Chains A and B, each alone.
Chain A
Amino acid sequence: MGKDNQNILQELETSDYKYGFVTDIETETIGRGLSEEVIRLISQKKGEPEWMLERRLKAYRHWLTMKHPNWAHLDIPEIDFQDVIYYAAPKQTKKLNSMDEVDPELKRTFDKLGIPLEEQMALAGVAVDAVMDSVSVKTTFRDTLAEKGIIFCSISEAIKEHPELIKKYLGSVVPYTDNFYAALNAAVFSDGSFCYIPKGVRCPMELSTYFRINAQGTGQFERTLIVADEGAYVSYLEGCTAPRRDENQLHAAVVEIVVEKDADVKYSTVQNWYPGDKEGRGGIYNFVTKRGLCKQGAHLSWTQVETGSAITWKYPSCVLLGDNSSGEFYSVAMTNNFQQADTGTKMIHLGKNTRSRIVSKGISAGRSQNAYRGLVQVAKGADNARNYSQCDSLLIGDKCGAHTFPVIKNANPSAVLEHEATTSKISEEQLFYCQQRGLSAEDAVGLIVNGYAREVLSKLPMEFAVEAQKLLSISLEGSVG
């Protein structure tokens, strides 16, 4: 191995995390720690109805009986849940009527994030709900969507304005009893997005949520609920960033998707929470539960590009309840420096003729650890279920780790289940070939990695795909000399 290329492949410096700025904005927070009192305070601040508070308290009491999950291939430092601030909001006194009234500093933040919150949105054709710390700041395009009967608003508003839908669907896919972090989220979630597409409606634009943690010492616990009624279609995008801080911050989100009969939902995530510095200081702990329920003939597709967070624990799943329903999971998970990721999916085949497809591409660099964990389960009554799984790992350098934990549980002999896995390294020969054509080593690695991830990136909506490509290259900066 040549000296320079050895350095290129092994030398590690931190990459510049360009979203690492802090917005200087007045923030209203409550004290650190968690208690029934704190939950009442959150509920009160949000002006919630009594039934919502009851749900929160029930979840909290259940959470107290639960233990932190430690089964993942992760080294999780003990988290002091009493040291987290559970509510932080950019201070705003009055309700806003137009974009002009949004705090300019806040607007600048979203500009820096490259979120076109205003007129540009019309061109981009994306409706955005931006969540800063705990509060949903602005939902664009609501009127256009309302004409089609589409509801797209913050979950707090939905609780007040559409209680019947919330009561029916919230917690129906991920109940608070599901796991430790789902229970915590159900107790303390502060905001998030809600989306409802009525029967037979095809949502005319991509819906998008941007999550941003800004205030120090806070956790973010957003809750997203998407309901696609019979025959409806929606494509939903989610982006996440956070400032660079030395301490670890907690993020525990829940995303629930209800895909009714013959409906189709595409959910895309580009997760770029602050990953910590090159020594492994700071960064977001990302514990997320994402699940969709597919009724008869319904289709749900998860696409995720995970480049951020110090620790990622996340398994977007499909419960294929209805006959002829199908689920897909496309994932690129990249870890560098001291990042740890344990991510994958669960495909639960309950209905007949259900199909699922898993394509997971892990990329490990630096001293990071990257695990794919997947479950494909076929129930007794799920005749003719089919699954195809492909899990690839790409290693950059020789101090990182890639791990695969695929689990198959099959109770029906008619099932056809395929699993393929590969592990590869970027070769010296590939680098030399690219460099001989004039590419720098860094560009070459970026190109090779993007090529490796192409099958997944091509599933992303166009604009997101471009961003994700850049992100993969940026996240590798420093890992290649």
Chain B
Amino acid sequence: MLKIENLHAKVGDKEILKGINLEVKAGEVHAIMGPNGSGKSTLASVLAGNEKFDVTQGSVEYNGENLLELNVEERSRKGLFLGFQYPVEIPGVTMANFMKIAVNEQRKARGEEPLSPAEYLKLMREKSAIVELDSKLTSRAVNEGFSGGEKKKNEIFQMAMLDPKLAILDETDSGLDIDALRIVATGVTRLKREDNATVVITHYQRLLDYIVPDYVHVLYKGRIIYTGDKSLALKLEKEGYDWLINDYKEE
């Protein structure tokens, strides 16, 4: 589904990604961990097409297409979803209206008719239940006055609404209490299917108690320096990163 080869990217003059290699297949869950400033969020932004970053080298193939040639909304319409670490507020635009436009844009791209109001309401009710999102939130402005937990739940709600092929969740667990974490994580798990894939970027092992990854990657200084299975996360939780990154510190 996703094949990243030797990806380099910079912001301004500063190179942040220094040769990422990663392959994600349908049905898989990948976790990307690593210390602060290692480039995890940059990787998510670059994959979503944020123009703040310049890709200087490498390639990204997404379902047989050159992902880097697509603009932000094209990537979205082809099923790539980014769960934001810091969701943005859009005053005056209700969540329900925002999602309606988004869902129908995606349908249009697939050559489908827009949903009728009744169909849309049904979909919204069904999907907000997955993350136990208070139905009142959908009639409020996008992320405006949402608590930290509500914002994150709202990201997963949007993911459920858009039913992406590839979801990249950027620190969806940060700032969540244990209940919210459980709700968000089980939401993600319930959306998992054989034909989609999830990349979870996280700091903490505890998220991975609920979302069981097939692979855990450690990102450090712009490169994936180690890949293991879910036991790696536990080891990292216990022992930290030092044993891994010592070899790289000289660079």
Contact = CB atoms under 8 A, between A and B. Distances in A.
Interface in B35-86: 48-52, 71-73, 75-77, 81-82, 84
A435 B92 contact: no
B88 interface: yes
B88 A427 contact: yes
B231 to A, nearest CB: 33
A51 interface: no
B105 A454 contact: no
Contacts of B115: none
A455 B72 CA distance: 30
A350 to B, nearest CB: 34
B91 interface: yes
A454 B92 CA distance: 6
Nearest to A433: B88
A428 interface: yes
A435 B98 contact: no
A437 B93 contact: no
Contacts of A437: 76, 98-99, 102, 105, 158, 162
B106 A451 contact: no
B93 A448 contact: yes
Contacts of B123: none
Given A4-B51, A5-B51, A428-B52, A434 B90 contact: yes
Interface string B90-109: 11110000110110011001
Contacts of A430: 88-90
B86 to A, nearest CB: 8
B88 A438 contact: no
Interface string B210-243: 0000000000000000000000000000000000
Taking chain A's interface residues, is the majority helix, strand, or loop, or is none over half, making it mixed? helix
Nearest to B72: A435
A436 interface: yes
Contacts of A5: 51
A35 interface: no
B2 interface: no
Interface in A428-471: 428-430, 432-441, 443, 447-448, 450-455
A427 B87 CA distance: 13
A2 interface: yes
A438 B52 contact: no
A438 B77 contact: yes
Interface residues of B, number: 31
A433 B73 CA distance: 10
Of the candidates A3, A437, A441, A452, the one having the most CB atoms from chain B within 10 angstroms of its own CB is: A437
Given A5-B51, A432-B72, A438 B90 contact: no
B71 to A, nearest CB: 7
Contacts of A450: 92-93
A436 B82 contact: yes
Contact of B90 (A435, A440, A447): A447
Nearest to A428: B52
A454 B142 CA distance: 13
B98 A438 contact: no
Nearest to B75: A436
B24 interface: no
B73 A438 contact: yes
A451 B51 contact: no
B87 A433 contact: yes
A448 B51 CA distance: 20
Nearest 9 CB-CB pairings of A with B: A2-B51, A451-B92, A451-B93, A454-B92, A435-B72, A438-B105, A437-B102, A438-B76, A433-B88
23 contacts: A1-B52, A430-B88, A430-B89, A432-B72, A432-B88, A433-B88, A434-B90, A435-B73, A436-B72, A436-B76, A436-B81, A437-B99, A438-B76, A438-B105, A438-B106, A439-B101, A439-B105, A441-B73, A447-B98, A447-B101, A448-B93, A451-B90, A453-B92
